[in-house]
């Protein structure tokens, strides 16, 4: 049980090793085996979910030495907290669905495709559970490789341009972040921090001017991944060219890597700088929401439209994060999951249509609802969820984000962003109307078959989640709440005395009184050493006796 | 008449060198008396000889023995570098036979010359006297001139040999002049002696003879490591030379030049560090940028890897600029990683090329990914490692090189380094794009894989991945090597 995290991470890689022995002609065996591997991984991740204690600590921690040379000590240090837990589950949940979606879509080079999918799964899970920052970086870069191949080999017409752009864009950002990683470590080692664990660095007081530069390096890398306006241009290209499973994973999980990076690294490590840049990033987020919505409206390609809607949705997530309060953060975390489910589902739907008609142009369709009633129903539900209609998951997340934003210093940004919800309704419903309703006058569309059992099996879990998370989001919020409370306390800089606004999970999602309570309780946990952050018996803590050491500003100790 | 008395000499420090020299001479004889035809057995003999030499070298780890009156030393620094040379020569020997056979120039002299090159490089790494270093450099260079022009029937190879010889001797002139000036300024050629004279000087940086000597010596070595602006010979020589020799030249001798350069500058000239680190800063940026930007436009893979090799020298200069333990030990680690990944990449090029060095462009790789998946996978690993993408040796090496610079406060140098690294991704990925994402223009008969090349590829892939995933122990050895300097 204690190795369950490593097991979940490396099960897909184990699957890759076995895949090598399956002859590449037996495609259905390859598909079936990969599906089985992803399902087993999902089951393993459920053990994590059920074993997870609702508190703010990292759990299932594994911490063993890995590299120790020169000034650096890197450890294989992994664990989940309330923030990463759901993202891991999202990853393992989306993966089997992606494999199922390739059943008919990928006929060529099936074996290589499955290998890419499985390596991708390992690197995604690995990045979410890394506590050691170096380990995180390894996974963060590693995930580019399979995605690069997936877009480049199985992608559309313009795939080479798209995949190169995707790789180099992401690489530039992450290399600059690497410089900041190393610099941060150097600052830390002057202050007596013994290894690369991010938990140690949370307590490092960094000079605000230095913070600015480091925050910018981190923020750039993560903003490219999110992607935020104006760094989003790789996304529509990558999405349009990627095969369905690639798009699903890219949208549902990989983009979350960017927002997760803000939550785990950029914001808590450099709180002063994060506050300083909040107006800028919120402005970019709001521009992203409005701009992407406007661009989405005029798209002729359904997949591109969904890609731009992704940019808009992640704009909301960023806005919620930079509200710096519990509602906003909770909303953002939920919205990450919601976006994973609804946009993932939208890309799957686009894939279904594309497999049948080999076109994605809105003008080629019309009246499909008559021919494909099951498809129409599911598509409608997913569309509504993407818009954020009450009763679906999208509503809960967006509502919390907007409420959090309104309560924060970003009130006017939030007011503008709210119009994005209306725009979302416009472009999604307009697209739905043009594709599904109207006259079924294109002869090619008159013989379309409705969804088959496999396709329904893919969509049912997503549709169920859309409703469950829309009607009863409490189980999700409860697990993440303590971690978010702690995070909000962490990113409050010492100079600012903004009261923490607690969110009571019972009164969600509709309005609840705002109480400036719990501030006293949160304060010491975030500022006094590491004892509050590491689970008992954490080797890094007990050996070095770090918890009792005062944290020194490295600039003073020079 | 005075008796010439032989001083007490400890031969232990140069035991591997003696062994390899004797082996090389035996190989020459064996070659003469053996029947014509297959020379594969020479490959195996030299490879085994290099392995034995590696055991001899390795057994000296931890020792510190000076010999020949302080002209040669056996220390961890020399041992680590000797291992790199032996590895580079071993891999080069393994990939030579198939290529030389195809090109019709499988002369048995190849292997002895490679071994002599190794002897020269080893002397450079363990030399603690300007004369020993120079002697080693000449043994190495003269052998390399022959190796570059080894394919006598091929005009490009001839051109490479001649060009390398002319420019190489020219640069050796600079080096020798620099050494003479240093001797003039300090009165000694012993590295330790130079250091102690400089230590007593007030303001050594104002001594024009000394500074000029340093600059001239640096020019000579910069030529050997192919640092801009002394890199002009590299693309032509690397393209023209027989591919296995290009693989060898770009790794072993480059490491040897770094070995001598590091020992000279860190041990003999540390008092001038402020001056030479400024110089290195500029050269590092120039070298990385020139290498990467010109590599972007190359279609011929050998030429592309030649420019990339310039860029990699630039990354090492970043670590050198830092001049601290992290940076310099990273050079050792990087040179080791570079031997694995670069020779591996050249091995693949040997396999895809046809007789007469045709079929050597990036476009000719089209379709390799699905026709020869194992070869393509190996090439992919080498390319990602050269580009510095984890989890490969190239990434760990760059991480430590740039860390050294950041530790010393050279943040901008590190930023320019990573940006260069990002630019290099384009041309390395282009190879992968052609392998996996383009269809071959014509049907192509792939050369079969012979056992030595297969062994070389296995070693190279294993090295690239092991140094990328569990690099700790090698990094620690590298650190021990430089800490004893």
Convert A44-85 into a string of H (helix), E (strand) and C (coil).
Answer: HHHHHHHHCCCCCCCEEEEEEEEEEECCEEEEEEEEECHHHH
CB B161 within 8 A of CB B145: yes
* Nearest CB neighbour to B437, from listed A137, A141, A160: A160
Chain A contact for B61 (CB, 8 A cutoff): no
A69/B471 Cβ within 8 A: yes
Residue B260, CA distances (Å) to A410, B87, B169, B469 in order: 60, 18, 18, 29
Residue B444 at interface with chain A, using a CB cutoff of 8 Å: no
Percentages helix, strand, coil for chain A, rounded to the nearest 5? Answer: 70, 5, 25
Q: Do B475 and A137 touch (CB under 8 A)?
A: no
Does position B94 have pLDDT exceeding 90, yes or no? yes
Q: Is the pLDDT of residue B457 over 90?
A: yes
Tokens 């142009």, located at residue: A361
Mind telling me how many Å the CA of A206 is from chain B's nearest CA? 16
pLDDT given at position B2: 61
DSSP state of A191: T
Q: Are A264 and A221 in contact (CB under 8 A)?
A: no
Instruction: Tell me if A137 sits within 8 A of A178, measured CB to CB.
Output: yes
- Whether A332 has a pLDDT exceeding 50, the answer reads yes
User: Over pLDDT 90: what percentage of chain A?
Assistant: 36
pLDDT band with cut points at 50, 70 and 90 for residue B89: very high
Q: Which residues of A touch B373 (CB under 8 A)?
A: 112
Contact between A197 and A533 under an 8 Å Cβ cutoff? The reply is: no
B186 alpha carbon, distance to own chain's centre: 30
* pLDDT band at residue B55 under the 50/70/90 scheme: very high
pLDDT of residue A514 exceeding 80, the answer is no
The number of beta carbons lying within 10 Å of the beta carbon of residue A514 is: 14
Higher local confidence (pLDDT), B1 or A29: A29
Interface membership of A176 toward B (CB under 8 Å): yes
- Nearest 5°: the CA angle A336, A341, A344 is 105
DSSP string, A88-105: HHHHHHHHHHHHHHHHHH
pLDDT at residue B413 is higher than 70: yes
* DSSP-derived 3-state class of residue B300: strand
Is B6:B72 a contact under the CB 8 Å cutoff? no
* Min distance B435 CA to chain A CA atoms (Å): 10
Residues 311-340 of B with CB under 8 A from A: 325-326, 329-330
Candidates A127, A135, A178: best to mutate against B (most CBs of B within 10 A) is A178
| C-alpha distance from residue A283 to each of A295, A347, A493, B202 (Å) | 18, 28, 21, 59
Question: What is the C-alpha R_g of chain B?
Answer: 22
Cβ of residue A113 closer than 8 Å to a chain B Cβ: no
Q: Does A555 touch chain B (CB under 8 A)?
A: no
How do residues A426-484 score in pLDDT, each as one tens digit? 999 999 988 888 887 778 777 888 888 888 988 999 999 999 998 898 888 988 988 99
Shortest distance between the Cα of B327 and any Cα of chain A, in A, equals 9
- Chain B residues with beta carbon closer than 8 angstroms to that of A241: none
- Within 10 angstroms of residue B77's Cβ, the number of other Cβ atoms is 27
Return the sign of the alpha-carbon dihedral for residues B164, B167, B172, B175: negative
Confidence of residue B123 (pLDDT cuts 50, 70, 90): very high
Six token digits for residue A77: 């240090």
Cα-Cα-Cα-Cα dihedral sign, residues B82, B84, B87, B89: negative
A346: nearest Cα among A378, A316, A372, A324: A378
Give the one of B418, B429, B437 whose C-beta lies nearest to A176's C-beta: B418
B326: chain A residues, CB-CB within 8 Å: 70-71
pLDDT value of position A136: 94
Q: Which residue of A has its CA nearest to B371?
A: A109
A65: closest chain B residue by CA:
B472
pLDDT in tens, B195-208: 999 888 888 788 88
CA distance B413 to chain A (A): 10
**Long-range pairs for A515-524 at CB < 8 Å and ≥24 separation?**
A518/A485, A522/A485, A522/A486, A522/A488, A522/A489, A523/A489
A chain contacts of residue B433, beta-carbon cutoff 8 Å: 152, 160, 163-164
B478 to B328, B349, B474: CA distances (angstroms): 9, 30, 6
CA A452 vs. chain centroid, Å, equals 30
Contacts of A306 (CB under 8 A, 6+ apart): A239, A251, A343, A346, A347, A350
CB contact at 8 A, B160 and B258: no
The secondary structure of A420-432 as a DSSP string is HHHHHHHHHHHHH
Contact A79, A4 (CB under 8 A): no
pLDDT per residue as tens digits for the range A205-259 = 888 888 899 999 999 999 999 888 888 888 888 888 888 888 999 999 999 999 9
Which run of H or E residues covers position B65?
strand B65-67
Partner B contacted by A212 (CB < 8 A): no
**What is residue A217's predicted lDDT score, i.e. its pLDDT?**
92
Q: For A193-204, what is the mean pLDDT? A: 87
Query: Would an 8 Å CB–CB cutoff place A68 in contact with chain B?
Result: yes
Dist. CA A312–CA A295, nearest whole Å: 10
d(CA A373, CA A358): 20
Asked whether residue B455 carries a pLDDT value surpassing 60, the answer given is yes
**Contact yes or no for A249/A192 (Cβ under 8 A):** no
Q: Token digits for B131?
A: 């004369």
Q: Which residues of B touch A148 (CB under 8 A)?
A: 429
What are the tens digits of pLDDT across the range A378-387? Answer: 999 999 999 9
Q: Residues 6 or more apart from A383 whose CB is under 8 A from it?
A: A346, A428, A429, A432
Chain centroid offset of residue A124 CA: 10
> Does the pLDDT value for residue A532 go beyond 70?
no
Q: What is the mean pLDDT of residues B20-34?
A: 89
Helix orientation angle between B393-407 and B411-437, rounded to the nearest 10 degrees: 170
Chain B: residue whose CA lies nearest to A172: B422
DSSP annotation of B326: H
Burial of B216 (0-12, 13-18, 19+ CB in 10 A): buried
- B472 vs A153: CB contact, 8 Å cut-off? no
Q: Which residue from B373, B384, B475 is facing A69, i.e. has the nearest CB?
A: B475
3-state secondary structure of A113: helix
Say yes or no: A159 contacts chain B, CB-CB below 8 A: yes
Q: Is the pLDDT of residue B84 over 90?
A: yes
DSSP string covering A434-503: HHHSS----GGGGG-----HHHHHHHHHHHHHHHHHHH--HHHHHHHHHHHHHHHHHTS-TT--PPP---
Cis peptide before A509 (omega within 30 of 0): yes
Contact B475 A70 (CB under 8 A): yes
Which tokens go with B344? 């591996």
Residue B40 buriedness (CB in 10 A; 0-12 / 13-18 / 19+): middle
Secondary structure (H, E, C), B8-25:
CCCCHHHHHHHHHHHHHH
> How far, in Å, CA of A199 to CA of B15, rounded?
51
The span from the CA of A34 to the CA of A110, in Å, is 10
Percent of chain B surpassing pLDDT 90? 56
Q: Give the three-state DSSP class for A31.
A: helix
Beta carbons of B467 and B385 less than 8 angstroms apart: no
pLDDT of residue A295: 92
H/E stretch holding B74 reads: strand B72-74
Q: What is the pLDDT of residue A205?
A: 83
Q: Does A138 touch chain B (CB under 8 A)?
A: yes
pLDDT score at B359: 74
Q: How confident is the model at residue A508 (pLDDT cuts 50, 70, 90)?
A: very low
Global confidence as pTM: 0.89
Judge: A167–B429 Cβ closer than 8 Å, yes or no: yes
* Gap from B233 CA to chain A (nearest CA, Å): 30
**Cβ contacts (< 8 Å) between A173 and chain B: which residues?**
none
Identify the pLDDT of residue B30: 86
Q: What is the pLDDT of residue A549?
A: 40
Residue written as token pair 């680590």: B80
Instruction: Share the mean pLDDT of chain B.
Output: 89
Q: Is it the case that residue B258 has pLDDT exceeding 80?
A: yes
Contact between residue B384 and residue A53 where contact means Cβ atoms under 8 Å apart: no
CB A128 within 8 A of CB A213: no
Biggest CA-to-CA distance, chain B: 80
Q: Given CB atoms, is A17 within the 8 Å cutoff of chain B?
A: no
Distance CA B209, CA B213 (A): 6
Q: How many CB pairs under 8 A join A and B?
A: 97
Nearest by CB to residue A152, choosing from B403, B433, B472, is B433
Q: Is B21 exposed, middle or buried (0-12, 13-18, 19+ CB in 10 A)?
A: middle
pLDDT in tens, B206-240: 888 999 999 999 999 999 888 888 888 999 999 99
Q: Residue A355 — very low, low, confident or very high, per pLDDT cuts 50/70/90?
A: confident
> Residue A3, class by beta-carbon neighbours within 10 Å (0-12 exposed, 13-18 middle, 19+ buried)?
exposed
Burial B313-333 (b: 16+ CB within 10 A, else e): bbbbbbbbbbbbbbbbbbbbb
């Amino acid at each position: 049980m204690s190795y369950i995290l490593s097991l979940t991470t490396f099960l897909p890689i184990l699957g890759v090793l076995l895949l090598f022995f399956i002859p590449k002609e037996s495609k259905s065996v390859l598909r079936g085996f990969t599906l089985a591997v992803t399902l087993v991984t999902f089951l393993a991740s459920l053990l994590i979910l059920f074993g997870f204690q609702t508190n703010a600590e990292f759990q299932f921690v594994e911490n063993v030495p890995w590299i120790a040379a020169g000034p650096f000590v890197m450890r294989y240090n992994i664990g989940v907290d309330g923030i990463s837990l759901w993202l891991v589950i999202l990853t393992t949940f989306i993966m089997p669905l992606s494999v199922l979606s390739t059943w008919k879509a990928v006929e060529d080079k099936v074996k290589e495709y499955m290998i890419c999918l499985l390596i991708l799964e390992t690197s995604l899970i690995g990045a979410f559970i890394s506590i050691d920052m170096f380990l995180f970086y390894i996974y963060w870069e590693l995930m580019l490789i399979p995605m690069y191949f997936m877009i480049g080999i199985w992608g559309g017409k313009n795939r080479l341009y798209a995949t190169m752009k995707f790789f180099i864009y992401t690489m530039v950002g992450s290399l600059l972040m690497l410089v900041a990683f190393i610099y941060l470590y150097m600052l830390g080692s002057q202050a007596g921090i013994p290894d690369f664990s991010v938990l140690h660095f949370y307590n490092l007081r960094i000079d605000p001017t230095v913070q600015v530069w480091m925050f910018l390096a981190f923020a750039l890398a993560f903003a490219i991944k999110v992607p935020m306006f104006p760094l989003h241009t790789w996304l529509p290209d990558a999405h349009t060219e990627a095969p369905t499973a690639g798009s699903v994973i890219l949208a549902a999980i990989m983009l979350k890597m960017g927002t997760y990076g803000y939550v785990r690294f950029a914001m808590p490590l450099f709180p002063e700088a994060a506050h300083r840049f909040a107006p800028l990033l919120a402005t970019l987020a709001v521009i992203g929401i409005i701009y992407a919505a406007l661009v989405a409206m005029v798209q002729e390609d359904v997949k591109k439209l969904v890609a731009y809607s992704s940019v808009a949705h992640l704009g909301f997530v960023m806005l919620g994060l930079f509200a710096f309060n519990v509602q906003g953060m909770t909303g953002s975390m939920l919205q990450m999951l919601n976006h994973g489910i609804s946009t993932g589902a939208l890309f799957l739907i686009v894939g279904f249509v594309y497999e049948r008609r080999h076109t994605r142009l809105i003008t080629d369709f019309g009246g499909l609802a008559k021919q494909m009633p099951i498809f129409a129903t599911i598509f409608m539900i997913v569309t509504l969820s993407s818009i954020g209609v009450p009763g679906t998951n999208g509503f809960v997340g967006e509502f919390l984000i907007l409420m959090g934003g309104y309560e924060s210093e970003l009130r006017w940004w939030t007011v503008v962003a709210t119009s994005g919800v209306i725009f979302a309704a416009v472009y999604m419903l307009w697209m739905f109307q043009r594709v599904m309703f109207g006259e079924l006058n294109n002869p090619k569309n008159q013989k379309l078959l409705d969804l088959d059992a496999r396709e329904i099996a893919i969509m049912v879990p997503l549709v169920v989640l859309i409703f469950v998370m829309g009607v009863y989001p409490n189980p999700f919020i409860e697990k993440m709440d303590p971690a978010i409370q702690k995070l909000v306390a962490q990113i409050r800089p010492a100079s600012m005395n903004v009261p923490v606004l607690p969110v009571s999970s019972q009164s969600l999602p509709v309005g609840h009184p705002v109480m400036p309570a719990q501030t006293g309780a949160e304060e010491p946990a975030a500022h006094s050493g590491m004892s509050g952050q590491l689970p008992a018996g954490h080797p890094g803590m007990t050996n070095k006796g770090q918890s009792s050491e005062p944290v020194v500003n490295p600039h003073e100790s020079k | 008449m005075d008796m010439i008395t032989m001083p007490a000499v400890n031969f232990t420090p140069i035991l591997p060198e003696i062994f390899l020299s004797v082996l090389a001479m035996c190989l020459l004889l064996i070659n003469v008396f053996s029947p014509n035809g297959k020379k594969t057995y020479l490959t195996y003999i030299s490879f085994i000889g290099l392995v034995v030499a590696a055991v001899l070298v390795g057994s000296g780890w931890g020792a510190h023995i000076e010999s020949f009156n302080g002209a040669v030393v056996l220390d961890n620094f020399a041992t680590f570098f000797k291992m790199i040379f032996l590895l580079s020569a071993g891999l080069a020997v393994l990939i030579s036979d198939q290529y030389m056979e195809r090109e019709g120039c499988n002369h048995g002299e190849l292997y002895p010359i490679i071994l002599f090159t190794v002897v020269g490089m080893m002397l450079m790494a363990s030399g603690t006297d300007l004369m020993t270093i120079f002697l080693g450099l000449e043994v190495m260079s003269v052998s390399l001139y022959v190796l570059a022009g080894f394919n006598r029937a091929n005009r490009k190879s001839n051109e490479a040999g001649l060009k390398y010889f002319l420019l190489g001797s020219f640069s050796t002139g600079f080096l020798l002049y620099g050494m003479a000036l240093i001797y003039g300024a300090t009165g000694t050629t012993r590295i330790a002696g130079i250091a102690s004279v400089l230590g007593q000087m007030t303001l050594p940086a104002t001594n024009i003879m000394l500074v000029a000597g340093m600059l001239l010596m640096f020019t000579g070595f910069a030529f050997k490591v192919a640092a801009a602006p002394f890199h002009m010979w590299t693309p032509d020589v690397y393209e023209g030379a027989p591919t296995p020799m290009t693989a060898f030249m770009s790794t072993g001798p480059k490491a040897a030049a770094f070995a001598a350069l590091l020992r000279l500058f860190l041990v003999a000239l540390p008092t001038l560090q402020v001056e030479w680190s400024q110089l290195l800063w500029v050269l590092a940026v120039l070298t990385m940028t020139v290498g990467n930007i010109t590599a972007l436009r190359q279609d011929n893979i050998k030429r592309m890897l030649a420019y990339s090799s310039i860029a990699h020298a630039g990354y090492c200069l970043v670590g050198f600029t830092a001049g601290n333990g992290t940076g310099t030990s990273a050079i050792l680690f990087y040179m080791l990683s570079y031997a694995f990944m670069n020779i591996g990449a050249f091995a693949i090029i040997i396999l895809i090329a046809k007789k007469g060095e045709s079929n050597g462009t990036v476009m000719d790789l089209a379709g390799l990914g699905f026709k020869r998946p194992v070869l393509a996978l190996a090439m992919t690993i080498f390319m990602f490692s050269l580009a510095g993408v984890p989890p490969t040796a190239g990434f760990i090496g760059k991480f430590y090189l740039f860390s050294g610079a950041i530790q010393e406060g050279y943040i901008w140098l590190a930023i320019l380094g990573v940006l260069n690294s990002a630019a290099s991704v384009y041309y390395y990925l282009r190879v992968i794009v052609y392998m996996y994402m383009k269809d071959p223009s014509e049907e192509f008969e792939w050369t079969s894989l012979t056992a030595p090349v297969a062994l070389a590829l296995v070693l190279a892939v294993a090295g690239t991945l092991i140094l990328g995933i569990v690099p700790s122990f090698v990094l620690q050895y590298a650190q021990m090597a430089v800490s004893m300097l």
